[in-house]
Amino acid sequence: MSISAKQYCADLYQRVIKRNANEPEFHQAVKEVLESLIPVLEKHPDYIELGIMESIVEPERQIIFRVPWVDDAGSVHVNRGFRVQFNSAIGPYKGGLRFHPSVYIGIIKFLGFEQVFKNSLTGLPIGGAKGGADFDPKGKSDMEIMRFCQSFMSELYRHIGHDMDVPAGDIGVGAREIGYLFGQYKRIKNTYEAGVLTGKGLSYGGSLTRKEATGYGLIYFVNEMMKAKGLSIEGKNVLISGSGNVAIYALEKVRQYGGRVVAVSDSGGYIYDPCGIQVSTLKQIKEVNRQRIFEYVKYHPTATYHEGCSGIWTIPCDIALPCATQNEIDENSANILVANGCKVVGEGANMPTDLAGTKVFLDNGVLFGPAKAANAGGVATSALEMSQNSMRLAWTFEEVDARLKDIMVNIYKNTSQAAEAYGLKDNLVAGANIAGFKKVAETMKAHGVV
Ligand SMILES: NC(=O)C1=CN([C@@H]2O[C@H](COP(=O)(O)OP(=O)(O)OC[C@H]3O[C@@H](n4cnc5c(N)ncnc54)[C@H](O)[C@@H]3O)[C@@H](O)[C@H]2O)C=CC1
Ligand SMILES: O=C(O)CCC(=O)C(=O)O
């Protein structure tokens, strides 16, 4: 090879920027991975020579489609739907669907790219994909959500299948939406293909523990990371951003480990309660009533509500768990967290810390669990749901939970070993990228230039 691995990665990154203009989230995700992989490419120049690096940053397929739907007043709306099938080297495409007004191709591409490495880390046979729409579910009636999901699936069904591509939930897509999507798929295809979606209801092929899996898995990972340093969650003060699926079940598991979650947030603001946030009230407000987080203070007089979501990171804590969305912790918030004594960060959301924020944590010796590793429990349990669907069996909650825990312990072990093997001890960002990449790269090599 005539140029260094470092120069190759810098050049490739420039080509990615040029080819994918105006997609800063995708550029950010690629930059982090390429920088982590320099020591791997120094040992394996064949990954460059065989075009594996060029291929790993280029989705296998990108689908963009029109989603017309009619609201309750009879007005027609047209949204844009996406599915980016990024890499199918190690299994059928797998990854969630996000319904949020901020969705555009750059967000879906970054999420699909991250999913490739995350899914590889689970040790299960799943490739990487992501999808969604720029639809805002906020304030929509059940019937509007149903009509939107039916229209979305009326195009998506052509591109998915239990051995081809298996979507699931993400921001704005939970059990209700998966139900409507599944109903429409079944109607169009006239076949009961349970494994075509995951996160399903229990009566039609869903898995126990899938709802809890991302949040529980995050805490299993954080616990493992702390245990390796002689620390524990017990007695620690914890901040959790977001108050959706990941945040709620992370909170539940932190309490089971004896920690105290003193703040949670939504896109409007955050609540702080030094006595600890009650998970049952949060579930009622968010899962049942679908209300904003400020409602919480009506039930708990010790809690206070504060406008604006980034303020949550100014609260002193031992452990911070960003579980809302991408780039919610920047350099400034990271510096404040460190100055206030935060020693552990576990990423429940995808890419919630920007590159400068990540550097602050790593430079200051914060135990940092990157998203690809720390939040992989959700997709891992989706893969367990697919296994149960294939076998036409349903495992107990305890059985799935035990498998999830094993998977998270293994992910910690593999990421920390990969980091150490490349002289980057304790840098789990590099460890996750390296361990996730190597399995995919070796498989792509075995498949030839395809
Ligand atoms: N649901 C899953 O199984 C998995 C989700 N993730 C990631 O976790 C994150 C959260 O996803 P879910 O909990 O599933 O979504 P969700 O739709 O259930 O909840 C999202 C929550 O984040 C809040 N939020 C949105 N923007 C915010 C902001 N700027 N500041 C504070 N709060 C904000 C929303 O109000 C909502 O409470 C996303 O990054 C998603 O990609 C990652 C792995 C699996
Ligand atoms: O369960 C899945 O397939 C998707 C989970 C997901 O979207 C994620 O890991 O970010």
Report the C-alpha gap between 428 and 412 in whole angstroms: 8
AA letter at 385: E
Average pLDDT over residues 212-226: 98
Q: Give the ligand with the smallest distance to the CA of 173.
A: 1
Residue with tokens 């349990």: 381
| Ligand 1 centroid from CA 53, angstroms | 30
| Ligand 2 centroid from CA 129, angstroms | 9
pTM for this prediction: 0.98
445 annotated binding-site participant: no
pLDDT at position 271 is: 98
Q: Give the ligand with the smallest distance to the CA of 130.
A: 2
304 annotated binding-site participant: no
Strands (DSSP E) contained in 344-384 are: 344-346, 367-369
> For ligand 1, what atom is nearest to the CA of residue 324?
22
Residue 221 tokens read as 């990972």
Nearest 5°: phi and psi at 369?
Answer: -95, 105
115 annotated binding-site participant: yes
User: Which of 113, 382, 387, 407 to mutate to test ligand 2, by most ligand atoms within 8 A of the CB atom?
Assistant: 382
Closest CA to 347 of 364, 372, 322: 322
153: helix, strand or coil: helix
DSSP for residue 423: T
Q: Give the ligand with the smallest distance to the CA of 176.
A: 1
Expressed in percent and rounded to 5, the helix, strand and coil fractions of the chain are 50, 15, 30
The Cβ-side half-sphere exposure at 430, using a 13 Å CA radius, reads 19
Residue 240 tokens read as 């959790």
Contact 343, 317 (CB under 8 A): no
Average pLDDT over residues 278-306: 96
Residue with tokens 């209300």: 291
Strand order in the sheet with 260-265: 304-307, 269-272, 260-265, 237-241, 319-322, 344-346, 367-369
Which amino acids bring their CB within 6 angstroms of ligand 2? 94-96, 118, 168, 170, 198, 350, 378-379, 382
Residue ID of nearest Cα to ligand 2 atom 6: 96
| Ligand 2 centroid from CA 214, angstroms | 9
pLDDT single digits (tens) 376-415: 999 999 999 999 999 999 999 999 999 999 999 999 999 9
pLDDT at position 29 is: 98
Residue with tokens 């939040």: 375
DSSP for residue 262: E
Q: For all residues of the chain together, what is the average pLDDT?
A: 98
pLDDT single digits (tens) 8-42: 999 999 999 999 999 999 999 999 999 999 999 99
| Ligand 1 centroid from CA 323, angstroms | 6
Residue % of the chain over a pLDDT of 70: 100
Residue ID of nearest Cα to ligand 1 atom 8: 349
pLDDT at position 1 is: 54
416 annotated binding-site participant: no
Q: How many CB atoms lie within 10 A of CB 212?
A: 23
pLDDT single digits (tens) 142-183: 999 999 999 999 999 999 999 999 999 999 999 999 999 999
| Ligand 1 centroid from CA 31, angstroms | 23
pLDDT single digits (tens) 297-345: 999 999 999 999 899 999 999 999 999 999 999 999 999 999 999 999 9
245 annotated binding-site participant: yes
CA dist 107 → 92, 95, 97 (Å): 21, 13, 11
What domains are defined for the chain?
A: 5-56 (no CATH), 61-191 (3.40.50.10860), 211-374 (3.40.50.720)
| Ligand 2 centroid from CA 227, angstroms | 26
Residue 168 tokens read as 């699931």
Average pLDDT over residues 273-293: 96
The Cβ-side half-sphere exposure at 112, using a 13 Å CA radius, reads 31
pLDDT at position 133 is: 99
Q: Give the ligand with the smallest distance to the CA of 112.
A: 2
pLDDT at position 2 is: 73
Q: What is the DSSP string of 283-317?
A: HIIIIIS---GGGHHHH-TT-EEEESSGGGGGS--
Which amino acids bring their CB within 6 angstroms of ligand 1? 169-172, 174, 214, 241-247, 265-267, 309, 323-325, 328, 348-350, 375, 378
| Ligand 2 centroid from CA 114, angstroms | 10
Report the C-alpha gap between 102 and 223 in whole angstroms: 33
Closest CA to 56 of 114, 123, 124, 119: 114
Residue ID of nearest Cα to ligand 1 atom 34: 266
Residue 387 tokens read as 């296994």
DSSP for residue 162: T
150 annotated binding-site participant: no
Q: Which residues are catalytic, by number?
A: 130
18 annotated binding-site participant: no
> For ligand 2, what atom is nearest to the CA of residue 382?
1
User: Which of 110, 214, 216, 282 to mutate to test ligand 1, by most ligand atoms within 8 A of the CB atom?
Assistant: 214
Report the C-alpha gap between 265 and 306 in whole angstroms: 9
Contact 404, 380 (CB under 8 A): yes
Report the C-alpha gap between 201 and 311 in whole angstroms: 36
> For ligand 1, what atom is nearest to the CA of residue 350?
39
> For ligand 1, what atom is nearest to the CA of residue 210?
3
Complex confidence, ipTM: 0.98
- Spell out the residues 6+ positions from residue 299 whose beta carbon is closer than 8 angstroms to its own: 278, 281
Residue ID of nearest Cα to ligand 2 atom 2: 379
